[in-house]
Amino acid sequence: MTTIDYERVKATRAPVWQRQLIRIPEDSISCHHSSLTDYLDRTVCYSPEGMRQIDSLIEKYRLGAVNKTMNDHYGTVLPRINRKDQILGGSVIYFDAEKGDMLKSEPLTDNLYQWYCFDYYTDDSVFFGEHTLSGKPVAVVQEEKTVLLGALAMPEIDWLAIGHGNDLSEEMARKLFGRQAILFADDMNCDYYDDRFGKFIKIDKSFVDKDINSYLAGQVSRRFTGR
């Protein structure tokens, strides 16, 4: 067993009451192009204006990349940042740079152990994109990739993601109260979200039978190419 593995196991043995929320240092994540931004470049058909806006998204959402690849596609760092501008977790997702399909997802903290040999206890109630909230209407979607496509297609909206494989919690839902918010549900969670949150948040079922990512990708292409 390597030293890092040993330290990781030792850290996870800490009793729950001794664990604390540790902020991931901002300088541990540097903005960088990745397989996901390569896919977005294709989506805007390499339009100069579109690629400039993608560079802005990299800075806005602090998108990064890891050296590890899957089928030659670099993993994309997708940090979750709260309203205090603290990085409190996130994911590293490997995307097919041509099709945009997700190949694999890993916790962000798993990719920090090469620098830090202790556990980070993340805040799962933070949306991806939460630090960007303004006074605009809010669209809540499931995946981080959808947020980026939405931001390119309809920048007049604040886009938030629950996160791939995660469910909307009551604590997350409370952050939407008093805002003009709409939640786009898919066929996997539509009934659950409607039953649990339908009285408080507008649930849009337009994409129960079709892919919201494909729809937004088409909108992005039309916006930057005119066709």
Do 23 and 70 belong to one domain?
yes
Residue range 128-141: average pLDDT?
95
Do 8 and 99 belong to one domain?
yes
Show Cβ contacts of residue 10 under 8 Å, excluding neighbours closer than 6 positions.
Answer: none
Do 147 and 181 belong to one domain?
yes
More confident call, 60 vs 4: 60
pTM of structure: 0.83
Do 92 and 26 belong to one domain?
yes
CA-to-CA distance for 105 and 208, rounded, in angstroms? 23
Do 32 and 89 belong to one domain?
yes
C-alpha 44, offset from chain centre: 20
Residue 205: inside a domain, yes or no?
yes
Residue range 40-65: average pLDDT?
94
Residue 217: inside a domain, yes or no?
yes
The pLDDT assigned to 24 comes to 57
Total number of domains in the chain? 2
Tally helices (H) and strands (E) across the chain: 7, 8
Residue 123: inside a domain, yes or no?
no
Residue range 90-114: average pLDDT?
83
The CA-CA-CA angle for residues 152, 153, 156, to 5°, reads: 90
Could you give the dihedral angle defined by the CA atoms of residues 223, 145, 214 and 212, in that order, rounded to the nearest 10 degrees?
-100
pLDDT in tens, 73-85: 888 999 888 898 8
The pLDDT assigned to 122 comes to 66
At which of 111, 141, 172 does a domain end? 111
Do 135 and 83 belong to one domain?
no
Residue 215, domain extent: 130-225
CA-to-CA distance for 69 and 34, rounded, in angstroms? 10
Residue 125: inside a domain, yes or no?
no
At which of 45, 80, 111 does a domain end? 111
What percent of the chain clears pLDDT 70, i.e. is strictly above it? 81
pLDDT in tens, 112-132: 644 443 445 567 889 999 999
The pLDDT assigned to 29 comes to 60
Residue 101: inside a domain, yes or no?
yes
Do 135 and 36 belong to one domain?
no
